Structure 1
Amino acid sequence: MQSYQSTTGAPTTSTTTSSVTPIIWFDKDYLNSNEGLMKIVVIILSLASFIVAQFGPNNGRVSFYCFTSMSAFWISLTLFGLYAFHVVEKMYTFPWILGEFGYSIVWATFYFVSSLLMLIGGGVQTVVAIFGFFACAIFGYEAKRNYIRHQNNEIAQGERVSSQSMA
């Protein structure tokens, strides 16, 4: 709660509360939202690039890329499930946006480095690198979005309601 003086000299108070639904339920509208679609695209890109990477030679570069893509696949799939079933909304006190910001930065970096390494191999690995650069761009965009949402003091799911009253 913050107090400040209004222009008329009367004290004013501002209250911010979070409005969340405490039950777990499946939200099919999340599948069509921008956040849901980006997670679906990352999941598909990660799985497809992992499968294509298996057709190349087995070396350290491919192993690092496979680690990156499979980790992104499982973590993004888990986050997708948590958001689709509104588990994130139920646990709104956890800093989800900040956590996703960190995850997006790290995996954008992993995808960028592993995709550059895959370009060295040529052939099938070039296709894998292209998938990786697309995934890197999506993770970078998510990081930017989450940074802005964190700066605006938003919560991951639910609503934050502000009200002002004259004291």
Structure 2
Amino acid sequence: MSRGFVNEDDQEEIPLVPPRADLPQGVTNYVTQVGMDELLQEREDLLSEIENLDPSNEKEKRIATNHIHAKLQLLNNRISSAKIIDLSQQPKDEIRFGALVSLLEEDQKKPQRYQIVGVDEANISKGKISFISPLARILINKKVGEKAILKLADRDRVFEIEEINY
């Protein structure tokens, strides 16, 4: 059929769903139990959102449903690939996935605290950094008292590890 005979009002928009946090191809999707719980809660919230859509406008409901289903597909892929790391099994004296680390940067008086978490759980405003972030990568396997150097284009940031908790 020619496009000339298609009613434009009958055309539905393809839902544009932003991608989830970047997880490079081939990298294991590590998560903490808290991170997995958040992913499962997000799925429940999306399913609830579908149930509570306003049925009065069929077209709007269909578009919203398609959008939520697209988000669910991305989320379910992330959940199915997740590998939960038991933080109680991590070495207490070494920084690994899930560690809550206290760092003192050279020339700073106050330590910074970060937890190394999965990509979906990362939120810098909550002090949670992704395990694939440059900072987390230089901290892995370090111990209290050791230094980690983050090389930037214009300078090096040097951090001393003060404390490690899980």
Taking structure 1 as the reference length, the TM-score comes to 0.35
Larger Rg: 2
Structure ranking higher on relative contact order (CA contacts 8 Å, 6+ apart)? 1
Q: Is the helix fraction higher in 1 or 2?
A: 1
Please report the TM-score for the alignment, with normalisation by the length of structure 2.
0.35
Decide which structure has greater strand share.
2
